[in-house]
Amino acid sequence: MGKLEGKVAIITGCASGLGKQHALRFADEGARLAICDVQETKLADTERLCRERGADVVAMRCDVGDYDQLATFVKAAVDWFGTIDVLVNNAHKITDLRSFLDFSAADLDTELRTSLYASWHMMKLCFEHMRDKPGAGASIINTASKGGIEGTVFHAAYAAAKEAIRGLSRVVAREWGEYNIRVNTVSPGGWTDNTTNLLHKRRPEVQEWARQAFQDNPFGKIGDPYDDVSPVFVFLASDDSHWITGQNLHADGGAWITA
């Protein structure tokens, strides 16, 4: 039996990157899944792979920066599964890597809408379907970043959004404990296809800097999203984490302690 056997999990941003790996790992652990992304074709591939693993899946095209689309997505999940046990707010549109002076207010707005605001809205939309569950209750996992905690250069908009999510999650963890809902964040460290796509137009020295940064940890290697990062999300989604809330877990091979 998988660690998430029978649990209904909503995961945003599942067409590629960490979100796709989370969906696959959750499927392997027995979860029933509601997944979304704005990239419909790639999302369909994730859906197919999850179904091949035996998962029951609801997949829907959804722009997480649009409240009405989020509401429609959550309704579709509840109409199909009847409940929600786990919410993973993963989606985040990264505008670019540039110096703070070169970021525009529009860049910041895009990143806030697709990460902070999306997480804010999804938690509220899912609340009534997650509250007051018996036993270990329900779990919300929001995605933070070491980039916000340490202040990674060229990530001003991203860092601002991620730190806001971390603060919001701590508040909601305090407020929703009485409803048996735990709320945690994960600061992941793993190289994905999205990382490659973000860097492919960069100068070779920038790409090399990124690779060195990703393996700047005690293990001296780059983390794999499926094998190294997603299991932490599985743990927080599982009943084993029932006594953990309001925390930020660094799933980065110790990169934070060497930052």
Residue spans of the domains in the chain: they are 8-258
Closest CA to 65 of 140, 12, 117, 123: 117
Question: Given this model, what pLDDT does residue 256 score?
Answer: 85
Question: Given this model, what pLDDT does residue 84 score?
Answer: 99
**Alpha-carbon separation of residue 209 from 155, 203, 204, 205, 214 (angstroms):** 14, 10, 9, 6, 9
Question: Given this model, what pLDDT does residue 38 score?
Answer: 98
Question: Given this model, what pLDDT does residue 173 score?
Answer: 99
Asked if 34 and 86 count as a contact pair (C-beta separation under 8 A), the reply is no
67 carries an active-site annotation: no
Question: Which residues, in sequence order, are CB contacts of 206 under 8 Å at separation 6+?
Answer: 199
Give the max Cα distance, the chain: 53
User: What does the block give as tokens for 189?
Assistant: 């460290």
Name the DSSP letter for residue 112.
Answer: I
Q: Is 79 helix (H, G, I), strand (E, B) or coil?
A: helix
Asked if 185 and 248 count as a contact pair (C-beta separation under 8 A), the reply is yes
Q: Is 115 helix (H, G, I), strand (E, B) or coil?
A: helix
- The pTM assigned to this predicted structure is 0.93
Length of the chain: 259
Which residue of the set 117, 158, 179, 226 is catalytic?
Answer: 158
- Residues in the chain, pLDDT under 50: 259
- Where does residue 44 rank: exposed (0-12), middle (13-18), buried (19+ CB within 10 A)? middle
User: What does the block give as tokens for 229?
Assistant: 């990062």
d(Cα 118, Cα 90) in Å, to the nearest integer?
Answer: 9
Question: Given this model, what pLDDT does residue 76 score?
Answer: 99
Question: Which residues, in sequence order, are CB contacts of 44 under 8 Å at separation 6+?
Answer: 59
CATH topology of domain 8-258: Rossmann fold (3.40.50)
